[in-house]
Amino acid sequence: MKDNIAIACSGLCLVHCVITSMLMGLAALGAVSAWLDSPWIHQVMLVPVILFALLSLPFAYIKHGNHVPMILVVLGISAMVSTFFLPEHYEFWITIPSALAIMSGHFWNRKLVTKKSLVMEPSNG
């Protein structure tokens, strides 16, 4: 469940980045695109991404023992945080792969947890 919410949060970041770029490129809805591009919105959106990573990944790692999902998510979050310190024109090109890495890590984590749960259940056969 936590992985699904984390995937949705990262997907929201991805959609936000693409839509903001499209709106600014079209110069449509100037006030809305300016609001979507403000620095505080990026910081607010990153909070649930980090929160759900902390709530989901360590406990899942204890269950399945595979460190790769955690590495993907940590790299993705680190890259997203780095956009606060880099020139703005890099933001789009860093955020898209970062969101995809975070989503991939959570998908992989969910798959490993589900697979481990299925293996541990007794068969009725």
11 inside domain:
yes
Per-residue pLDDT tens digits for 58-83: 988 998 999 999 999 999 999 999 98
Q: Judge contact between 22 and 33, C-beta under 8 A.
A: no
Least confident of 9-18, 82-91, 93-102: 9-18
Per-residue pLDDT tens digits for 98-113: 989 998 999 999 899 8
**How many domains does the chain divide into?**
1
Helix (H) or strand (E) holding 66: none
pTM, two decimals, is: 0.72
123 inside domain:
no
Host domain of residue 107: 2-117
Q: Judge contact between 105 and 66, C-beta under 8 A.
A: no
124 inside domain:
no
